[in-house]
Amino acid sequence: MAAAGPLTRRGTDQRGSRLRVYFILTLMQIIISAICTRGGSLREAIGNDPRLEKFGLRLDRMQIPGRHPGWLKLHSAREERGAINVVWDAQAHILTARVITRRTSRPSPIVGDFITYLLARHRTRVRAITTAVKD
């Protein structure tokens, strides 16, 4: 592709030809792992919680409870971008949440809402929370 001249305000180069604009979707993933105490499925507890929207989260989809491996998808109840995919490992007692945001490099609002929810509603079950950025 040959280099075009400087851009004018109308989105064309000096020769008058139109430019193609390619949008690059920025995709950012953050992994949140919560090590929990023994007990029932924390994923099912999150999916059945009527106070979920109070923390800025809403349930989008949930696999039939009791099936292995179970999963759950959350979105922001506010206008924040992103989704959270939640999986419960019953043998290891670990809740894994994969936060995916598109077209933004700021996943902190939805990540903060989820961690706030975990600590407020399931504090007795959660022993440690770790986060990691996945490229």
Structural domains of the chain ordered from first start? 27-134 (3.30.310)
DSSP states along 29-86: EEEEEEEE-SSS-HHHHHHT-TTGGGGTEEEEEEPPTT-SS-EEEEEESSS---EEEE
Indicate the residue type of 30: I
pLDDT at 34: 96
Q: In the structure, what pLDDT confidence band is assigned to residue 93 with cuts at 50, 70 and 90?
A: very high
Q: Is the pLDDT of residue 37 over 60?
A: yes
Comparison of pLDDT for 23 and 52, the residue scoring more = 52
Length in residues, the chain:
135
Q: Is the pLDDT of residue 13 over 70?
A: no
Main-chain dihedrals φ then ψ at residue 2, nearest 5 degrees: -75, 150
Q: Is the pLDDT of residue 104 over 50?
A: yes
Averaged pLDDT for residues 61-88: 77
Averaged pLDDT for residues 19-39: 74
Cα angle 54, 113, 30 (rounded to 5 degrees) comes to: 150
Q: What is the pTM for the complete model shown?
A: 0.73
Percent pLDDT > 70 in the chain is: 70
pLDDT at 101: 81
Comparison of pLDDT for 122 and 25, the residue scoring more = 122
Q: Is the pLDDT of residue 14 over 80?
A: no
